[in-house]
Structure formats: C-alpha cells, structure tokens
Chains A and B, each alone.
Chain A
Amino acid sequence: ETGVTQSPTHLIKTRGQQVTLRCSSQSGHNTVSWYQQALGQGPQFIFQYYREEENGRGNFPPRFSGLQFPNYSSELNVNALELDDSALYLCASSLVAGADGYTFGSGTRLTVV
C-alpha cells in the first residue's frame, strides 16, 4: 500500500508567477485535502476534493484553485504568487467517514521571492 506522495518537494518561484503542486492519494482513499502551513503555525485548510468536486473551502482567495482526477490524485494551483504564499503545502488523503484521520504527504516547500 503506497502512501501519499507530493511533487515537487521544493520549489522557488518569483512573485506574480503561477505554480502547480501535485498529490497522489493513498490507495483506496477518495478524498483529498490541501493545507498551507506557514513556519511555526498549524496547517490551514485550503480546500477539499471528493470524487472530483470541491467539497469545502477555507479562507483562501480564488487564486488558489484545485482539481481532482478520476484516480483521486489532485493538483493545487496558485496564481499571481505573493511573498506570503511561501509555506509548506500539505496534501492529505482520507476515506470519507474514516476514523483514522488523514494520511499526509511530506509536503511541498514553496518559496516565493
């Protein structure tokens, strides 16, 4: 059974650029959630996808968007990058109604300069 994999692991972008982060969910999991974690803070919920549809969104602007594919993998897209977007982006997969919580990927460290 494979876990959650994210790519790339590290990324440096310039302010104003666009970025796409990718996530492969754990086998058998149908829900993917994305979190932004700034240094020294807890993960902040960006949005969640269930069966290719957005299933809830946190307090993030529309320039944060996502996709989920039929194989339950997912992408997070961020347009018009700002310096404050520098953070660790975590993808987590889960099975709806599962009591084991989320399985997290190792994250993508995004630096915006």
Chain B
Amino acid sequence: GQNIDQPTEMTATEGAIVQINCTYQTSGFNGLFWYQQHAGEAPTFLSYNVLDGLEEKGRFSSFLSRSKGYSYLLLKELQMKDSASYLCAVSLGGDKIIFGKGTRLHILP
C-alpha cells in the first residue's frame, strides 16, 4: 500500500520559522512535491524534490532524504497569508501523484 504521513495541524507565530515533516512509504518514487492549499481553493505548486538535499526558493525550502523516506518543508519569516494547508505528495511514476492528508498551519499575530 501507499502511506504518506504528516502532522494534522501546526501553529506558529508571524515572523517565525516552521518545519512541516512528511514521511512516506510508497511502491514507487520519482520525486516529492509540496503544495499549498488555502481553504476552498485549489492546491498550488510549491516545490519538487527528486534528489536528496535541500532546495531553497525564497522563504520556502524543501528537503528530501530518499533513504529515510523523509521530507520537510521549511517556511521562514512567516506571514499571515501563509495560513493554509500544506500537502506532501509523492510522484509514483507514470505521471501519478498521491497526496498525504495535509497539515493545517495556523499563523498567530
């Protein structure tokens, strides 16, 4: 079976840093995505990791360890607009992507 685990909810303060972890056990692996989803809206692409290591893109960074089946999304200098759900998703190959249940991030002023 396919299993992607991430925390259900997290709370952080405006201006701070937060790390959202994701572990996965899947039958195939081509890469790992992070998506952001605001309530009632479609998911939007944040990052895609294929190789081990850290990829930085502005305030957001994503890390991947394929041997550990582990990834995290790091958000720096948090802003109120970062309040959203963050979805960890694995590309299985053949252009198929499966999603975790998402982490709801609450930002406090």
Q: Which residues of A contact B (CB under 8 A)?
A: 31, 33, 35, 40-45, 48, 50, 55-56, 90, 94, 96-107
Contact of B31 among A33, A41, A48, A99 (CB under 8 A): A99
Contact of B48 among A40, A100, A104 (CB under 8 A): A100
* Contact of A41 with B95 in the complex, beta carbons under 8 Å: no
Q: Which residues of B contact A (CB under 8 A)?
A: 4, 31, 33, 35, 41-45, 48, 50, 87, 89, 91, 94-102, 104
Q: Which residues of B contact A99 (CB under 8 A)?
A: 31, 48, 50
Q: Which residues of A contact B91 (CB under 8 A)?
A: 101
Contact of A106 among B41, B50, B95 (CB under 8 A): B41
Contact of A90 among B4, B43, B100 (CB under 8 A): B43
- In the complex, besides A43-B87, A101-B97, 10 extra interface pairs with C-beta distance below 8 angstroms are A33-B96, A33-B97, A42-B87, A43-B43, A55-B95, A56-B94, A90-B42, A97-B95, A99-B31, A101-B33
CB distance from B6 to the nearest CB of A (A): 9
CB distance from B15 to the nearest CB of A (A): 27
Q: Which residues of B contact A94 (CB under 8 A)?
A: 95
A49–B84 Cα gap in the complex (Å)? 29
